[in-house]
Structures are given as structure tokens and as C-alpha cells.
Structure 1
Amino acid sequence: MNEKRAHRKKPKRRFLKIFMAVVVVVIAGVSIYAFSIYGNAKDTVNEEMHEPVDSIDRNTTKRKMETSKPLNILLLGVDERENDSGRSDALMVLSLNPKKDSMQLVSIPRDTRTTIVGKGFEDKINHAYAFGGSDMSVATVESFLDIELDHYVRMNMEGLKELVDKLGTINVDNEIAWNDGKYDFNEGSVEMDGDKTMAYVRMRKQDPNGDFGRTERQRKVIQGIIERGASVGSVTKINDYIDVLGNNMKTTMDFDDMKRLFNSYRDTRKNIASYQMKGNGTNIDGTYYLMVSEDEVAKVHGMVSKEKS
């Protein structure tokens, strides 16, 4: 009788061992895969994307991020092509306040006339990048708005198409209807892939607001990417995103900074406010500039300072 019972238990024990072995193999496989993704992301960010600048004190910024203090991040959309130093096609100050779960995006028109820090003369604010790269752009925006920037992110506009395609699509709230001969852009919510996104941000002639309208559309695309990127949870796509960003993005943030940003600041997208600086166009020696009043600069300074409080 006892022999029969012992005989019956063996298959169960064998099954249990096999089951546990399979579990161990699966856990090991997932761990190795996760580690490889983590390692690839860390190497790409730290070796290819990380680009410190003298204008930003990393130690001060690091302390702010460790204690979840509000941050100001300069977003630069640059149009860099072969044999061309490039210009910042889009300039935006992104303010993140984790205590209020709020985000504010302020667009600075690229034709805005201001003093270029490091050069000492007045020119279009987007020319700062052509003269001195990200460092001069950061210093010039800080001087123009009398604010402190904690990080900058520079994205090659040519990389937007690839990034949106990797995300799948993004949605924007389009305010004017037009057709560019290839795509219809109706009023209201518009879903766009990468190619359609580039057509959306580059259109000028059919927009009654000219370059102001283009800047507004650029801001909507940035918001669309933030919303879509924050909602995508597929681990299998992380390496794809990292590879795209590695080829097209530079930032003062290293991998640990990005982890802190994701863990402590991701809910700031719950309350998004946006604003575009205003001014009056004028021609000086045959060149068009946007003249922004001191009152307008003070207004934006106050908006950013309030978000930082």
C-alpha cells in the first residue's frame, strides 16, 4: 500500500520540478532582456545624447531633481543639415511643477530681437545657436527672460518624423483647416504619422498668422509627443525610441536625470498650459525682426517664476 502511494507521488514531484525549472528559465530570460534594454538605454543616453553646457550648473540642477523641485527646461528644435551649422527653428521653455502636477510651455518666436550673450550685439534669438550652439542659446534665453534654466533638450527637426512613427501616431487639436495637396488638415482633433506631422509643422503660406501660427503648431506637436510618449507602455519598443533619440537628440540630462524626471515629474502633464510670446514685426536694415516689449517679457518672466514657486 505504501509503495503504491509513493509511486503515485513521483509524477507530481517530477511535474513540480519541471514547472519550477520553466519558471526559472522564464524569469532569467526576462531579466536578461530587461537588463539588455536598460544597458542599451543607459549607454545611448550617457554616451550619445548627454551634452553638458557651461551655462547650466549641473550640481544645482541635480539637487533640485533629487528633492523634486520645479524645473525649467529649454526645448530647441534645430534644422541641422550637412555643411550647415544650423539654427534653432523652435524655442520653448518647459516649466515643470511636480507639487502642482502642472506643466507650462512658453514659445519664443524665432525672429525675436534680443542681445546675443557672448556676442554683445542684437540679433534674432534663433541665431544664438548658429553662433555658439546650445550653450549660447541657453545663456541668451536666460538673459532675455531673466530666468534660470535647469536643463536643455535639443532635437533635430528631421528626427521628429522618425520619432512620431516609432510612437505610432500623435493627436493635435488643429485650429484652421487646410490642404497641402497631399494631406487634409481639418479643424479639431487630427491624428498624424511622422510624414504628416512634418507637413503640419512646416506649413506657412496658408496660415493667416504666419510664423506665429507655425510656432503654435510646433508647440501642439511637442504636447502631442509628450502625451503619446507618456502613455506608451510597451517595453519592446523602448530600444527603438532610444535609438531614434540617440541619433537626433542632445541634452544636459544623463540617464539618472531621465529616471528622476520620469519618476518625479511625469504627472505634470495632467495640467498643461501653453503661451506664445507676442510682439510687433519690423524691418531693420532690410531684415525682419519681432520686437517684444518689456511688458511682454516681464509677463512671461512672471508666468515662469509663478510656475517655479
Structure 2
Amino acid sequence: MTSDKTIEMRDGRGMREEQPAEVLDAVGTRSRRGRRILIGLLVTVLALVLAAAAAIYMLTESLGNNVSRVPDAFAGIPADARPAASSGKTFLLIGTDTRSSDPTTGTDAPAGVQAGSQRSDVIMLARVAADGSAAAVTSISRDSWVDIPGRGTNKINAAYAFGGAPLLIQTVESLTGVRVDHFGVIDFAGFQEMVDSVGGIDVRVAAATSNAGVDFHEGLNHLDGAQALAYVRQRYDLPGGDLDRAKRQQNALKALLTKAGDDLSHPVGVYNLVDATSRTVSVDDTLTNGGLRDLALEMKGLRPGGVTFTSAPVAGLGREGAQSVVYLDEQAGPRLWAAFRDGTMAQYVAAHPAEALSGAPH
């Protein structure tokens, strides 16, 4: 049975045309149904996005809560003695020379362990560009003979033992003219766990050596955590001694960054590394969970190729009393630190290629 109801319409040429009401009702129903489906899809997509954002927030908040904080890392440093702030963020990263196989940094460290109870074995300044596209890492030899505020002249690694993070930060800022924004510390046990969390690292060695029962052959070596620890701790039988050890430490860090970059497409691998890092590294208490999230977002596009590795220029080696020391180059040093502050380390390394980390250090 058909309806006698029609509705007058005009076609695309302006001609009058009558259509049955049922046809128009069906068209309107399909149109409304289509809108409802589209709106439903948009709501579903929005819900998924919000759920993903909530999951990311909860995950980073949870991992951020794992990170041990070093209290009052900047306490007592005279404000008028500090260098001016610059774009980007600068971190003072150190590794302690405790020989304990048990953790002394991170959340697993006993409560009684004091942050400055050991000398610093690894001292690196790392600067990340404001847009996260590039970074620079410069090592300072632990035996560098420098002025330690209030303590006279001594090896730079003594500053951490004398006064913990604040005195080491003040010493490094006085030496370099670079303002330190954040501080991080890890021990040998933590480094070993980080390497194992990514399934080991690959490093190139210039010539065959051995240390702590581990043999390193010339060329590419795949190292697990224990082997990597033996690699970065070796200084004897290396031509440059402690200077070559600092280069090995940079080489291991570069290999770790490379492995982490390779794992970006594998969420489980990334999580394992971030989880290990959050439990083994201690950072200053001004670096909040939100700050960690912001830093991760800023650095998401950073790749190992965008990181330059250098060392503070050295004038020579010598002795002060019974101590073997490193004398820093007072002419070349300021040029490097100026480039570091200005974010022009890539240009600096291009002009001074001999100061860059080689692909296969000793």
C-alpha cells in the first residue's frame, strides 16, 4: 500500500519535483543514523586517546615515584656565584667508585648510605638542547687538579666526598662556567643492571685488552652487565690510563643510548630500561615526576647520532705529593665550555675532530 502524501521539491536545475514522504523520511533517517555513527566513532576515538593518555600518565607517575631523590643537592651554593642560566638543560652526571656489589644509589640502596660517602669515579656534564634535538656530553677526568671552594686545590673527585652534591656542583660550575640544572648519580651495581636490562651493549675496542677476568678483543664486542662493568673500570694497560677509561665510559654510554634507540619499537624493552633506570639512579629533588615526563617528551626525537661526546682538554699529567693528577688545559678549556654553554658543540667538534670520541677508543 502506498501513501498519497507527497512533498514538493526542486531538483538541481530548479525544476519542481514531487517525492513520496516515505522516501524523504528514509533519507532523513539514514542521515541521522550516519551522524550518530560518526559521533559514536569520534567519542570512541576520544575515549581511547584519553585512556592512553591516562595510562601514560599513570605509568610515568609510577616509574617517577621509583626514582630516589637526592635532598638539597643545591643547598648552600651562593646564588651570586652561580653561572647564568642558558637555554636547554644541563645535568651533572656522576658514577661513584664504591666496589660494593650491593646498590648504594637508587631505591634499593640502604637508608644509611650517604650520597657523598664515596669519591666520584665518573664525572660528566650533559646538555640537552631546548628542543630536544641534540645533546652534548663532556667528561671531566676524576683526577683533574682543580680548586674546590673552601677546600683548596685537590682532585675534583674529592669534592663529592668532602661535601656531597652541593660542593661537587659548585666546583664544576666554578671550573666550567656552566650552570648545572640537575644532578644524577649511579653506582656500579646500577650501571650493570641498566646494561642487562637492554640485553647487553656493543662496543668497539681499538686493541685487545683484559680486565677483571674479562677479555676484550679488537673490534666489536658484545658485553653483558658484568663485562661492561669490567670494560668501564679498566685503566691499567691502557695507553692513556684514566683518560682512556673516561673515553670507555662515554663509549659505553653511547652504546647504551644506541641500544635504547633500537628498542624504541619494542615497548617491553623500553619499559625494562626505564624501569631499571628509575630504580638505580638517584636525582636531585628539584626534578619532579612532571619534570621527568617533560624531559622524556622533549628528548623523544633524540638519537645517538645527535649526541656529541668530548672530554675536557688536558695539558698534561703530573704528581702532587703522592697523588697522580691531571692538569686541565687552561687555554683550550674555556673555548670548549663556551661552545657547551651556547649549544654549538657540533660545530666545535667539527673544528676540533681530535677532541671527539673515536669510534673505537682503547
Same fold (TM over 0.5): yes
Q: Of the candidates 246, 250, 260, which is equivalent to residue 219 of structure 1? A: 250
Q: 1:282 to 1:272 in 2, by over 3 A?
A: same
The offset of 1:294, in angstroms, is 1.5
Structure 1 match to 2:306: 271
Q: 1:36 to 1:254 in 2, by over 3 A?
A: closer
Q: Of the candidates 260, 265, 276, which is equivalent to residue 244 of structure 1? A: 276
Structure 2 match to 1:11: none
Q: Of the candidates 285, 290, 302, which is equivalent to residue 256 of structure 1? A: 290
Structure 1 match to 2:14: none
Please state whether the residue corresponding to 1:294 is helix, strand or coil: coil
Q: 1:245 to 1:287 in 2, by over 3 A?
A: same
Q: 2:211–2:231: 8 Å Cα contact kept in structure 1?
A: no
In the superposition, the TM-score normalised over structure 2's length comes to 0.66
Cα offsets for 1:134-182 (capped at 9, x unmatched): 1211111010111111112111122111111011111223223223484
In structure 2, how many angstroms separate the alpha carbons of the residues matched to 1:131 and 1:176? 37
- Mapping 1:55-204, distance limit 5 Å: 55=77, 69-80=87-98, 81=100, 85-99=117-131, 101-117=133-149, 119-180=150-211, 182-204=213-235
Please state whether the residue corresponding to 1:94 is helix, strand or coil: strand
Q: 1:33 to 1:283 in 2, by over 3 A?
A: same
Q: Of the candidates 64, 69, 72, which is equivalent to residue 42 of structure 1? A: 64
In structure 2, how many angstroms separate the alpha carbons of the residues matched to 1:40 and 1:100? 24
Please state whether the residue corresponding to 1:283 is helix, strand or coil: strand
Structure 1 match to 2:241: 210
Q: 1:295 to 1:105 in 2, by over 3 A?
A: same
Structure 2 unmatched ranges of 5 or more: 1-43, 80-84, 105-112, 346-362
- Mapping 1:277-288, distance limit 5 Å: 277=312, 278-288=314-324
Q: 1:208 to 1:51 in 2, by over 3 A?
A: same
The size of the alignment, in residue pairs, is 273
In structure 1, how many angstroms separate the alpha carbons of the residues matched to 2:278 and 2:237? 34
The offset of 1:299, in angstroms, is 2.4
The offset of 1:120, in angstroms, is 3.7
Which amino acid letter does the alignment assign opposite residue 122 of structure 1? T
Please state whether the residue corresponding to 2:95 is helix, strand or coil: strand
Greater relative CO (CA pairs within 8 A, separation 6+)? 1
The offset of 1:193, in angstroms, is 1.0
Which amino acid letter does the alignment assign opposite residue 274 of structure 1? F
Structure 1 match to 2:356: none
Q: 1:281 to 1:35 in 2, by over 3 A?
A: closer
Identity of aligned residues (%): 22
Please tell me whether residue 306 in structure 1 is matched to residue 338 in structure 2. no
Please tell me whether residue 53 in structure 1 is matched to residue 85 in structure 2. no
Please state whether the residue corresponding to 2:291 is helix, strand or coil: helix
